[in-house]
């Protein structure tokens, strides 16, 4: 699959995808060491302060909207997400280039956190890269449609994950949905919005400006949504995690 900003050099490697996997693995190692357990790696006050939760939000710990996306409940959770990140990450990174891929991943992560913060925070602790990964799945779906490729297999995969999100316990369907919508929206802005330009002005520079402008608007909306939620959450500065 090739698209805007793609590269087909034989020596090309998905460096950013590998880097993100490495960061997630390092974060898991940190959580396991801090908790003294691989299986119960989240059972530590030090680690809990990095997870997205009601107490963390009430305390105004805004960084949890980001750090929660690099933590995982146990090795199976980590392995499943990292395999999926490898599969979809390298596709998107090659198709759109590292900078756009990085933006899609980051904004998908924030999209998942924003959805949880606003609609599913009560009595939950949410961690995992799946919000960002679902954003990559949304991005790939947009690219399939843009390039007029058959999306059937991808739609089946999405359907299976939707069913799993609602039927299996411990899965944050809001995080998945928020990430998916954010990733699809950013990608649509990158590949579709430039088509609104007159053909005689559709230079590479203008195409990039329009695409990045769309990403910037979405970023501003997500950051504002997260900031407002942290600033107005009931009982702010009341809860503590020790």
What pLDDT is attached to residue 24?
A: 98
Here the CATH number for the domain that contains residue 220 is: 1.20.1540.10
Tokens of 144: 């399939």
> Does residue 158 belong to any structural domain of this protein?
yes
> Does residue 110 belong to any structural domain of this protein?
yes
Identify the bridge partners of residue 149 per DSSP, sorted by sequence position.
none
Query: What is the four-CA torsion angle of 84, 12, 135, 38, rounded to 10 degrees?
Result: 40
Identify the band that residue 165 occupies on the pLDDT scale cut at 50, 70 and 90.
Answer: confident
Q: Which residues contact 4 (CB under 8 A, 6 or more apart)?
A: 95, 96, 97, 100, 190, 191, 207, 211
Query: How many other CB atoms sit within 10 Å of the CB of residue 195?
Result: 11
> Does residue 215 belong to any structural domain of this protein?
yes
> Does residue 8 belong to any structural domain of this protein?
no
Task: Using the predicted structure, report yes or no on whether residue 6 has a pLDDT greater than 70.
Answer: no
Identify the band that residue 242 occupies on the pLDDT scale cut at 50, 70 and 90.
Answer: very low
- Domain span holding position 124: 15-232
Decide: 123 and 205 in contact? Cβ < 8 Å. no
Task: Using the predicted structure, report yes or no on whether residue 172 has a pLDDT greater than 60.
Answer: yes
What pLDDT is attached to residue 2?
A: 46
> Does residue 6 belong to any structural domain of this protein?
no
Specify the pTM.
0.90
What pLDDT is attached to residue 203?
A: 87
Return the top range by mean pLDDT from 98-102, 196-200, 205-209: 98-102
Q: What is the spatial distance between Cα 180 and Cα 132, in angstroms, rounded to a whole number?
A: 8
Q: What is the spatial distance between Cα 82 and Cα 22, in angstroms, rounded to a whole number?
A: 9
More confident residue, 10 or 3: 10
The overall average pLDDT reported for the chain is 90
> Does residue 238 belong to any structural domain of this protein?
no
> Does residue 5 belong to any structural domain of this protein?
no
Identify the band that residue 238 occupies on the pLDDT scale cut at 50, 70 and 90.
Answer: very low
What pLDDT is attached to residue 12?
A: 83
**Left if phi > 0, otherwise alpha if psi is -120 to 50, otherwise beta: which for 230?**
alpha
Q: What is the spatial distance between Cα 216 and Cα 154, in angstroms, rounded to a whole number?
A: 27
Degrees to nearest 5, angle at CA 214 with 198 and 6: 80
Task: Using the predicted structure, report yes or no on whether residue 38 has a pLDDT greater than 80.
Answer: yes
Kindly report which listed range (56-70, 91-105, 110-124, 151-165) carries the lowest average pLDDT score: 151-165
- DSSP, collapsed to helix, strand or coil, labels residue 9 as coil
Task: Name residue, tokens 């695409």.
Answer: 211
Total domains in the fold of the chain: 1
Kindly report which listed range (21-25, 65-69, 107-111, 122-126) carries the lowest average pLDDT score: 122-126
Identify the band that residue 28 occupies on the pLDDT scale cut at 50, 70 and 90.
Answer: very high
> Does residue 134 belong to any structural domain of this protein?
yes
Q: What is the spatial distance between Cα 29 and Cα 72, in angstroms, rounded to a whole number?
A: 10
Residues marked as catalytic: 130, 176
Q: What is the mean pLDDT of residues 152-177?
A: 85
Per-residue CA distances from 228 to 83, 127, 179, 224 (Å): 34, 21, 19, 6
């Amino acid at each position: 699959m090739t698209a805007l900003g793609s590269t087909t050099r034989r020596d090309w490697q998905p460096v950013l995808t590998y880097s993100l996997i490495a960061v997630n693995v390092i974060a898991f190692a940190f959580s396991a060491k801090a908790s003294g357990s691989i299986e119960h790696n989240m059972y530590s006050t030090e680690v809990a302060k990095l997870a997205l939760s009601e107490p963390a939000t009430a305390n105004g710990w805004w960084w949890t909207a980001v750090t929660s996306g690099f933590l995982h409940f146990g090795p199976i959770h980590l392995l499943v997400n990292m395999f999926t990140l490898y599969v979809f990450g390298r596709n998107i990174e090659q198709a759109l280039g590292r900078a756009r891929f990085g933006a899609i991943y980051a904004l998908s992560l924030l999209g998942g956190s924003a959805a949880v913060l606003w609609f599913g925070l009560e009595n939950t602790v949410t961690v995992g890269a799946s919000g960002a990964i679902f954003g990559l799945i949304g991005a790939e779906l947009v690219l399939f449609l843009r390039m007029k490729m058959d999306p059937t297999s991808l739609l089946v995969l999405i359907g299976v994950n939707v069913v799993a999100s609602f039927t299996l316990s411990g899965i944050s369907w809001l995080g998945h949905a928020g990430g998916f919508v954010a990733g699809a929206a950013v990608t649509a802005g990158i590949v579709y919005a430039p088509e609104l330009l007159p053909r005689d002005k559709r230079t590479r520079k203008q195409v990039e400006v329009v695409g990045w402008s769309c990403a910037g608007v979405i970023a501003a909306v997500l950051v504002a949504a997260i900031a407002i939620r942290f600033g107005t959450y009931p009982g702010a500065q009341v809860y503590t995690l020790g």
